Amino acid sequence: MRLICAKDYADVSRKAANIIAAQIQLKPDCVLGLATGSSPVGTYKELIAMYESGDLDFSKVRTVNLDEYVGLTKDHDQSYAYFMRTNLFDHVNIDQANCNIPNGMNPDAEGECARYDAVIDGFGGADLQLLGLGPNGHIGFNEPADAFVKNTNKVELTKATIDANARFFATRDDVPKYAYTMGIGGIMKAKRVLLVANGKGKAQAVKDCFFGPIKPQAPGSILQLHPDFTLVADEEALSLVKDLL
Ligand code: GLP
């Protein structure tokens, strides 16, 4: 694991964007694994700024997103498809035909998960997978469990995740209860993994996942086994491991 200590959220976002920008420059048709949630928003803003200044070209980039809520259309303002369009895709010269996200409206869970795994396998995994970290240590929507799930799967979201995501919906009851998520195997297939974490709310998860034992109850901990894993975290997210650095 490579740890990059950042000062604050803005610093995390700049550092992460620089790594992604380097990936695009080195391989213009690279496959980016992309994440949603509030953590990567600043990173996306930085990438948009680099595109606008003429420093980045997304025209050949392909993408594969981590997850999607089951039951939300791609035009629902809380769907991850909508999130990706409004936070990145609509602002850069990416060909959205090359952007892959699980289809939350496919009622055939088995078929959708198999289709998505075929997309990931067709790429041979992402060149660079960007991740956030759930406050309970989840990556994508791979929740704490008794085993790591390898393939894309339909997950029942934990109470903690529904609570954490309720802020984005009108009421808690509006938060979908299920999601399709890339499995741990799909994430680990990426050639490089980059996780961004900021704020006190992530301090315990950062400690459990990256400074403790590897276990499915702390899903992000599997990344300790990835040969090219970079954690970019700010001072608050690292506040519980200061003595270990
Ligand atoms: C959601 C997403 C995750 C994300 C997590 C953390 O549950 N499925 O991919 O990492 O939220 O979100 P945030 O960055 O808003 O803390």
Q: What is the pLDDT along the chain (245 residues), one digit of tens a residue?
A: 999 999 999 999 999 999 999 999 999 999 999 999 999 999 999 999 999 999 999 999 999 999 999 999 999 999 999 999 999 999 999 999 999 999 999 999 999 999 999 999 999 999 999 999 999 999 999 999 999 999 999 999 989 889 988 998 999 999 999 999 999 999 999 999 999 999 999 999 999 999 999 999 999 999 999 999 999 999 999 999 998 88
Residue 164 has a pLDDT of 85
- The pTM of this model reads 0.96
pLDDT tens, position by position, 190-244: 999 999 999 999 999 999 999 999 999 999 999 999 999 999 999 999 999 998 8
Q: Are the CB atoms for 136 and 144 separated by under 8 Å? A: yes
For residue 6, the surrounding DSSP H or E stretch is strand 2-6
Give the residue among 49, 59, 53, 47 at the shortest CA–CA distance from 22: 47
Residues 6+ apart with CB under 8 A from 4: 15, 230, 231, 232, 233
Distance 19 CA to ligand 1 centre (A): 20
CA distance 72 to 84: 14
- Using the 8-state DSSP alphabet, how is residue 146 labeled? S
Strand ranges (E), the chain:
2-6, 31-34, 62-65, 67-69, 99-100, 128-131, 153-156, 178-181, 192-197, 229-234
Return the CATH fold of 2-153+179-244: Rossmann fold (3.40.50)
Residue 56 has a pLDDT of 98
CA distance 164 to 66: 18
Q: Are the CB atoms for 65 and 35 separated by under 8 Å? A: yes
For residue 153, the surrounding DSSP H or E stretch is strand 153-156
Residue 18 is a catalytic residue: no
Residue 245 has a pLDDT of 87
Residue 243 is a catalytic residue: no
Residue ranges lining ligand 1, Cβ < 6 Å:
35-39, 66-67, 132-134, 140-141, 161, 165
Distance 36 CA to ligand 1 centre (A): 6
Closest ligand 1 atom, residue 196 Cα? 14
Neighbours of 111 (CB within 10 A): 11
> Exactly one of 112, 138, 153, 236 is catalytic; which is it?
138
Closest residue to atom 11 of ligand 1, CA basis:
37
3-state SS, residue 48: helix
